[in-house]
Each structure stands twice: as structure tokens, then as C-alpha cells.
Chains A and B, each alone.
Chain A
Amino acid sequence: MSVDYSRIIEIWRNAPNRKEMKGADLVAEGANPICGDRIKIFLKIRGGKITDASFTGEGCAISIASASLLADYAKGKALEEVRKLDKEKVMELLEMDLSRNPSRLKCALLPLAALKKG
């Protein structure tokens, strides 16, 4: 299996939604104790729908890109709907097949795990 970095590196480098949000309605935090990665996701929720989403954190390119893509995807959806997402959806967002890379899949799932917990 191949891990294509070209797309996610662009996101890792330039994610416009990598910023703190003042007055967020929900702040979800997640950490991967194996590598010390930490992600914080900020959501603004109006009328049951996520109207804005951003994130901050330190981590590898995969976890940062995953957080950025997930935050974008979440906009306009209900929180419960986003929380129901699974690993297949995360890999689809990343356009990366990590099914044979369980340790890197953990990096990719960190932002979603934070949202599910938060």
C-alpha cells in the first residue's frame, strides 16, 4: 500500500482553518499518547447545525490534515451526524487508504475521536 503525501502536505502546510475560535460552543480535545500529538477542535453550533469549525494542535501531517478536512466537512452538518462518522469516511476525506497501516490510521482518527469524546 502506498501513502501519498503530496495532497495532505498541502493541507498540513496551508490549512486556513488551523486557528483558535473565540466563543466556540464546543471545544473537543484529543491526544495520542504514543506520539504526543494533541488536537483541539472548535465548533460553533446554531440551530442544531455546525456553522463554523476550526482546530489547533501539534501533530504529524496526517493528523493535522485529517483535522482540517474533518472541520471543513463538519460545517453545515449536525454534531451527531459528524460524530457518527467512521474510519472509512476519514480515509475517504484524506484520500488515503490506511487500512493496512493501523498506527498511522490512529493518527488519522485522532480528530474524529476527539469529536466523539468531546
Chain B
Amino acid sequence: MDVEKIRGDFPILERIVNGKKMAYLDNGATSQKPQQVIDAIVRYYSEYNANVHRGVHKLSEESTVAYEDARRKIAEFVNASEEEIIFVKNASEALNLVMYSYGMANVNAGDRVSISIMEHHSNFVPWQFLAKKKKATLEFIDIDANGELAGLEKASGAKIVSILHASNMLGTINDAEKICKVAHEGGGVAVIDASQSVPHMPVDVKRMGCDFLAFTGHKMLAPTGIGVLYGKKELLERMEPFLYGGDMIIDVKKEGSKWNELPYKFEAGTPNIEGAIGLGVAVDYLNKIGMDEIRKHEIELLSYAIKEMKDEVTIYGPLDARKRTGLVSFNVPGVHPHDVATILDEEGIEIRSGHHCAQPVHERLGLESSARASFHLYNTKEEVDRLVEGIRKVKRVFA
């Protein structure tokens, strides 16, 4: 994998921040976009912008083909069929869709819904809302001292088991196959939030065995405002729509309406056409490099980062790079993470600070917040060196 060549595809990586060459280490929040994706969006608006699934004219046909091409690429990327790929605006919307269309219809008073303590708020708050509304019990699978799931078996018997594949705080990669197995053996469905895994490693919904999988485009080199829900066909067919309106119908009469076929039943209104096209091109880009190669590169970066950082800071989550996705959350003892991030920003190093939309896991660890460096395919060991040097500067400033 030629990282220098890859970097050349990302114009933003040339940016100067506070007089220093930028080291972008906030990929857990959003990734940067390659020229290929930017060009695809510009081309769409300069050459064939038209609404999809409506007109019979040339431009509408072209935009429809491009939009559906993107769906096919994404289906292949996660080993699903096209009718099982629903375009949404982000992972939060995907999970809300499952909560409203599946959860509201299938979870009743006294039922159990099982999530984990390491969930991002997007896979936490919707289930909390559902449980309250339906008088169901929301249960939390705990973590062990290593930041890995502990007692997953307790989820058995829950109507819905919804757990993230890779944690945006601990970095932990959960055994999604096992999560699905536990959910199914207890008669429930398995929902996997793959926001932090699909951009960084191969994901195969068939091998995983999940019923639903949610991820977002902007963390995987695509624009914001486009996300994906994968759902098993037989489940999607049984579910009522999430949003109602244009394009999701096949027949509208005063007496009532009939829903469109899959996946359109779940795509009401004019979709984010340029976003879907951009995501399709992002998937092409990732495929060209190869997800196995990207994963290998991130494991190398992670192992190096953990080795260099572990004597300087407190690192959360497993220290074995193979057990985690490409991010390291940490704290500099005695220094607030916002101050760490501001001082690193002065050096052109862009990291995240706060609770990363994962307040429950911070509380579980007795923390208010943490700092987080997160990598992607274009990051380098030299950037890790700068991060470590920056952390040493933080410690000098606050000494």
C-alpha cells in the first residue's frame, strides 16, 4: 500500500494549520475525501443533475443509473443484495429506522432490549426511547478491565440485541458473529452498528449473520448526509415504512396507498443523490486499495502509536492492536482533554476531545471525557511521532 500516493489523492491533507503542516487524526469523527469523490459530486452537478426514479428524460435516466449503481457497489461491498440496502442520512437515522419500524412493532411491555455500555449515543438513545415508550427493559452488556464485552450471553432472550461492531471510544472490535448468534439463539434479532468498522476493515453481513447493519458514508471517504441501513429482506418486507411521502409508494388513492417495493419503501422523498454517488465512488476507492490492506496499515499504525504513547498517557481499551479499530482514546494525567486538543492544534495536530458521543462508557470508566486520535488509510508513522511529541509538549506546558 503506497501511503504517499494515497495522500496525493486527498487535497485537504496539504493544509497548513496554525503555521504547521496538518496531521489529521480525527477520522473517527469524519474522514477526509479523495479528489475522486469530490470530482464525482462536481460531475453530477455539472453534467447530469436530475431527480431520480421520476423523469423519463435523459438526465433523469443518467442520475437514476448513477444512484442505483452506487447502491449495487455498496451491496457488493458488504455482501448484501441491492434491495437490502437502504439509503439514509447517517447511522443514527438507520438505527432510528430499525427502532421505529421494527422495534415499535415487535417490542412489547416486559420484553427485553439488550445493548452494551460502550454504545455511541446513536445506538443508545433510540433504544432507551423505545424501552420507555413500550415499558420494555433496556439492559446493558458490561465491559471487562480490558475494555471488551463481558457477559454477552446475558443478552440471550432479548427481542433486540443492538451492539456496535467497533467502539469509537475504546476502539474494541466486538465479535459480531457471536453477538448475532446470542441474539438468534434467544429468539431475537441482531442489529450491528458498524459505523467504526465498515470504513476500516472487511465487513460481510452474511458471514456476520446480522439482521440489520448501520453505517455512515462520511467516515468512509464519502460526503456527509449519506448513510446505509442493511436489513434482511424477509424482515424489511414485513416492516412498515419509517417515513411516508414521495417515492415510497406504488399507488396513492384517496382511500389509501400501497407501498413501493424494497428498498424504495424506506426511501421517502428525493434522496441525497450526490451523497449516494459520492459513497459509491468512495467504495470504489476503498476497493482499489483493498480493505485487508487498509486494515493491515491501521494495525501497524496502531501498534506503533500504542507502543509510543503508553508510557506518556493513560490509554483506554485493549492494548493489542489486533483487537481494536484504528483509534486511541487517552488522557494526559491532570490535564483536561480540551486543553490537550488545543495545544496539539497549535502544532497542527487535529484530534478529538470530549465524550465522543459515548457518555455511558466514559461514566463506566469514571471519566468525564477523553482525548482521541483516530487514523485512516492516509495516516503515517511520522504523524504518530508528531502526536507523541505534541503530547510531550502538553506535559511540559502543564508541568
Contacts and interface: CB of A to CB of B under 8 A. Distances in A.
| B is bound to A | yes
A60 B346 contact: no
A59 B338 CA distance: 9
Interface stretch (A1-9, A43-51, A68-76, A86-94): A1-9
Interface in B382-399: 397-398
Interface string A76-109: 0000000000000000000000000101100100
Given A2-B18, A5-B343, A35 B397 contact: no
Interface residues of A, number: 19
A21 interface: no
B227 interface: no
Number of chain B interface residues as a range:
10 to 19
Nearest to B340: A60
A62 B338 contact: yes
A60 B354 contact: no
B337 A2 contact: no
Given A2-B18, A5-B397, A9-B398, A36 B338 contact: no
A34 B354 contact: yes
Given A3-B342, A104-B342, A35 B368 contact: yes
Given A5-B339, A60-B336, A62-B338, A36 B355 contact: yes
Interface string B15-26: 000100000000
B338 A35 contact: yes
B331 interface: no
A36 B339 contact: no
Contacts, number: 48
A35 B18 contact: no
B346 A107 contact: no
A61 to B, nearest CB: 5
Contact of B354 (A2, A6, A35, A59): A35
B250 to A, nearest CB: 45
A58 interface: yes
Nearest to B363: A36
A36 B346 CA distance: 23
Contacts of B362: 36
B156 interface: no
A2 B346 contact: yes
A25 to B, nearest CB: 30
A13 to B, nearest CB: 9
B394 to A, nearest CB: 10
A67 to B, nearest CB: 13
A103 B336 CA distance: 14
Of B335, B338, B342, B397, the most chain A CB neighbours within 10 A belong to B338
Contacts of B397: 5-6, 9
Contacts of B353: 35
A58 B346 contact: no
B195 interface: no
A60 B18 contact: no
Contacts of B345: 3
25 contacts: A1-B18, A3-B345, A3-B346, A5-B339, A5-B343, A6-B397, A9-B397, A9-B398, A34-B354, A35-B336, A35-B338, A35-B355, A35-B368, A35-B369, A36-B355, A58-B368, A59-B336, A60-B337, A61-B335, A61-B398, A62-B338, A101-B342, A103-B338, A104-B342, A107-B338
